[in-house]
Structure formats: structure tokens, C-alpha cells
Amino acid sequence: MIEQRLVRPSGSPRRAAVAAPVTPVALGDVQANEQERLSTGIGEFDSALGGGIVGGSLILIGGAPGIGKSTLTMMALANLLAAGHRTLYVSAEESAAQIRLRAERLSAECALRIPVIAETDLQTVLATIEQERPEVCVIDSVQTLHSSELSGAAGSVAQVREVAAELMRVAKAGGTAVMLVGHVTKDGTLAGPRVLEHMVDCVLQFEGERERTYRTLRALKNRFGRANEAGVFEMCDQGLVEVLDASSRFVGEATRAAGSVVVCALEGSRPLLVEVQALVSRSELAPPRRVVSGLDRNRIALVLAVLGRHAGIGLGTADVFINVVGGVRVDDPGADLAVALAVASAVRRTELTVAGGHRPLACFGELGLTGELRTVAHADRRLSEARKFGLTPVVEPERHGTLRSALAAALGGERRAEPVAA
């Protein structure tokens, strides 16, 4: 790689001969000032960012349309403005009047004072940023800005790259932190924002089901803090509200019926108790249906295969529906066991509760391909969260080494699996 950069493609080392070399400096001699951070006034947002917005940084906020990206960024700007910071909201999607209507709904008091421009031309936006010199600027969205210096429609890979690169140049020069909003389809495959992940300092993913109220904001990458930090929000009439007691809500709402179990999941570094539900019914289709929400489909396929092979619960002719309640997405191998137990409980039509009590059963653990239960990160945090809500004993890898043993503990005795009834 280094060779390629120094030597021209023709093989002539001309550039290496012409360029003046620089003297490398030991890292210990490099001046590194403590990064100043601006608080968004939204605790969960700040913690996903690792403690607030770093001046001059580039943050990408991805999410499906309608998830609340405009709402979240606008609330952050309103709070920053209230704290005396200069802000700018660039909308390349909505008219100023539409943005005003959203701002009117928000509880943040300064929302109507946010300076906005509704503009799709990149060069105009750059000139405005250079003139206004905001400390924090939101670009909503990176896919709808258009550079007239490039051909191609707005949102094409070349355009999105150019827009981000130019914004980065102006932002770093003027010390403006830029939040780029980007639309990502549900499976995250849309070309747009994904091509920017390597350029930006932080990538935040805003996810959840649009029709449900709960959303999670997760840091996928963070040059100034831990990746994988996450916060839970609820979409209300006055905008997004942080959900600080998510576990308590989800446990309180848990159904305690056959096919339901609570997973001690980890959202970033925080434990979260959330209900996983399964429904199994005889299929009329070949191949049968696998409908999954809030979990990774490939992971579900693995769990169902392990259930068939190592627990005698064959689902080859059954439709299986799996749902994480509340629209939360759980990206955690520790949810494997919850899926297995929820499905087994649905097949056997047996409620899973903590022995003798009316509380739902809690569990966590990763499933291995040979039917073993594998330990997952931060078991202690998961256990103490379950303990907090009285959901002990927890079915987990330390106490049960295999799926069979976990099933026996949860369902009481190792009975033969019944065939799936309609």
C-alpha cells in the first residue's frame, strides 16, 4: 500500500523525489487538548455520543424514514440554543413551514428560535455555514443535498460522498460540529449513508418500529467514546422522551403467557430486561414462514435448527413468529436462549414463570451449534438487573450448561416435544 502511494502507477518514483519529507513525532510529544463537549440536553443522546458533541466533529445519524431523526436533531439544537450555543438547521427535505410545524409540537422551549434554511444546493449551504459559523449544524438529510459540480442525482453514492467531504472540510475549518442525517432502509443496505461510515467520527443508528413508540439510539462507531452505547426513547406527542426505566416498563408489561419470556439483554453497556414472544402454528406453506421483528433473522434460523437437533422440537412444518415487545431491537447473542425458550413454551403451551410466582421467567445465553449454552458478556450486570425486579432464579449459562438443561429448568421436567398443533 505504501509503495503504491509513493510510486506513480507508471513505476516512476517522481512524486517521492519531489515531495518534501516530514519528520515523524513521538505520540507522547503530540499536543492533545482535552476535547470540549457540548451537551445536547438529552442524556441518552449525550451518552450515545460518549458524553456530548465534540466540537468540529462529524456525526452521522442513520435510521429508517419516520423513525424520528428530524425530531431528535431538532430537539438537540433547541437545547443547545437554550444553553447559548450557535446552531443551524439545514433542511433539504422539508419546507421551512413544515419544519415550523414540527417545532411547534416539541416541548423544548427554544425550538421556534432555531435558525433554519430550507436548501438543497450544497454550495449555498457551505457558504451559509461559513458565514453563520454555527457551533452545531444539522444537515437533514445528506441524501437530499446536491452538488452542482458533480453530475448524478442527489443521493447517488458520488453525490453523498462529495456532500459529506465538502461539509467536513468546512466544518473542520470553522470548528462546526455537523450532524448528518441519513436514511437507511430497515436492513441497512441502502448505499447512501453506509458509504460515509469510514469518513465520519461517530455513527449513530436510530432504530425501532415506526408504528411502535419505543426507539433505540445506538452508537455503531465513535472516535471519541465507546461504541455500542445505546439509549431508549419513546415517541410522544411532544417529541421524543428518554425512557430511563425501560426494564421496569417492559417487565411490567410482560404478558406471562405461553410463548413469552423475558431476556436480560445488554444495550451497550447497560442491562435491559425486555419480553420476547413466540407463536408457533401449523404451516400451510412450504417453506414455512419465519416472521421476525426486533432480532436478527439468521440468528433465529440458527436457534430453530438447534432446537430441532438438540431438543427434539422440530419446526419444519410450522410457521414461527418471533417478536421483541415494544419495537425494541435486541442485537445481542444473549437473546438466543430467550428465543429458544419462547418457542419451546409456545410449542408446549406452557407458561414460563419464576418458580411458584407470578413473575415472568428471565433468561440469557448464547446457543452453540452443538446445543451448549455459552456465556455472554457482563453476566453480572444482567443478573443484577433481573434481581432488581425479582426475576430470580434466572436461566443462564452458569447454571445450565446446555439447552436441554435450560429447557428442563424452564418447562419443568424433560417431556417429549408434542407435534405442533394448528
Binding positions for ligand TYD, rule: CB under 6 A:
63, 65-71, 102, 105, 235, 237-239
Burial class (CB in 10 A: 0-12, 13-18, 19+), 277: buried
Residue 102: CB minimum distance to ligand TYD, A: 5
- Cis omega (within 30 of 0) on the bond before 287? yes
* Chain residues 67-86 in contact with Mg ion, contact rule CB under 5 A: 70
Q: In terms of CB distance, is 2 or 97 closer to ligand TYD?
A: 97
CA 57/CA 43 separation, integer angstroms: 19
CA 193/CA 404 separation, integer angstroms: 43
Name the grid cell of 276.
420476547
Name the grid cell of 341.
425458550
Is residue 144 within the footprint of Mg ion (CB under 5 A)? no
Helix 96-105 and helix 69-82: axis angle, to 10°?
70
Residue 240: CB minimum distance to ligand TYD, A: 7
DSSP string, 118-134: E--BHHHHHHHHHHH--
From ligand TYD, Mg ion, none, which one binds at residue 52 (CB under 5 to 8 Å depending on kind)?
Answer: none
Residue 312: CB minimum distance to ligand TYD, A: 45
Q: In terms of CB distance, is 206 or 250 closer to ligand TYD?
A: 206
Residue 154: CB minimum distance to ligand TYD, A: 16
Q: In terms of CB distance, is 55 or 188 closer to ligand TYD?
A: 188
Q: In terms of CB distance, is 12 or 238 closer to ligand TYD?
A: 238
Q: In terms of CB distance, is 133 or 194 closer to ligand TYD?
A: 194
Residue 190: CB minimum distance to ligand TYD, A: 14
Residue 225: CB minimum distance to ligand TYD, A: 23
Quick check: 364 and 382 in contact, CB under 8 A? yes
How many residues at the interface with Mg ion, by CB under 5 A? Answer: 1
Strand partners, 146: 121
Q: In terms of CB distance, is 138 or 278 closer to Mg ion?
A: 138
Quick check: 120 and 154 in contact, CB under 8 A? yes
Give the footprint of Mg ion on this chain (CB under 5 A): 70
